Structure 1
């Protein structure tokens, strides 16, 4: 059995590392925006499921960002604008 991090956890933590220099609320918003724009629905669903299941390996900023996510919800107007800090 592999102990490697699942892809959504690894990718989520990569986003946190790139954006954690921002103030907390802004970092969470930027992370959520990136996830909405670029992650496939199944990846968003998996992240939300891990949070609902109480995955304690997730960084608090990633959990905070997920508060802005709803399964299947993507604002197509936001996709045209770049994200990041």
Structure 2
């Protein structure tokens, strides 16, 4: 896995951190973390990989990406602590 793109590697790390939660809650928490802490180009890269149906993405990360929209950042939400 050392040759993985950063968004895939970081996405897998998030999945490992949240996979103990119920799937819907985990996907929501992962999406919140991504919106708050990932740079826009990282979010865009993830969304492009999801749209291309990249086989290297964990299903929970794909579910989380469904909560994201290109350019979508809620500045008030960023001020609040995250679950991750």
Q: Which of the five TM-score ranges fits, normalised by the shorter chain?
A: over 0.9
**CA–CA distance in 2 between the matches of 1:49 and 1:76?**
23
Q: Residue 54 of structure 1: CA displacement?
A: 1.1
Alignment partner of 1:57 is 2:56:
yes
Q: What does residue range 29-44 of structure 1 map to in structure 2 within 5 Å?
A: 29-44=28-43
Deviation, structure 1 residue 70? 0.5
Partner of 1:66: 65
Corresponding pairs, count:
83
Q: CA deviation at 1:10?
A: 0.2
Tell me, in whole angstroms, the C-alpha distance in 2 between the residues paired with 1:16 and 1:24: 10
Match of 2:23 in 1: 24
Superposition misfits of 4+ residues, deviation over 6 angstroms:
none
TM-score normalised by length of structure 2: 0.95
Supply the RMSD in Å over aligned alpha carbons.
1.1
What is the deviation of 1:80?
Answer: 1.1
Is there any run of 5+ residues in structure 1 with no aligned partner, and where?
A: none
Q: 1:18-68, CA deviations, whole angstroms, 9 ceiling, x for partnerless residues?
A: 000000000000000000000000000000000111101101110000001
